[in-house]
Amino acid sequence: MASKYRKKHPDRNLKVMFWPKAALSGFQGMNKYDPLFGEAFFNDSFHNGIPHEDILNNIKCKTIFMKAQTNISEDGILMAALSEEDLKRVSELIADLQIVRFDCGHGIHIEKPKKFLECLTNLLHTKAPH
């Protein structure tokens, strides 16, 4: 069904009537996906020359970090944005950091949209110290 839809509508996002929207969201834009982009994350060349520690250390405003579940494959490959060790290092580098954990995968805004919006709303309504 998905293959037929792709052939008939090559420039549209995938639609399968019986699939949940959350599942389909992972396919948005895939008809224009460059596999080399994904490989750059796999082989870590995406991060070459980016001074992550300097960038994080220079964040001086109140910051919220939304942490999804850490998922490591049987082969030991990190299948998420960062590990618990990475999060610990981030929390050491950003002075005014609040961590909010989500019981879901990487697409927090798709998998937990109400909790995601609640998190942002709470941040907006929290007064900054003077």
Domain boundaries, the chain: 51-125
* Listed residue (34, 12, 32) closest to 24, CA to CA: 12
Contact 28, 13 (CB under 8 A): yes
Q: Residue 73, exposed/middle/buried by CB under 10 A (0-12, 13-18, 19+)?
A: exposed
* Mean pLDDT of the 83-112 span: 92
Q: Write out the DSSP string of 73-122.
A: -TTS-B-SS--HHHHHHHHHH-SSEEEEE-SS-S-HHHHSHHHHHHHHHH
Tokens of 21: 């929207």
pTM: 0.67
DSSP 8-state class, residue 45:
G
- pLDDT tens digits, one per residue of 12-43: 877 777 777 777 777 776 767 777 887 887 78
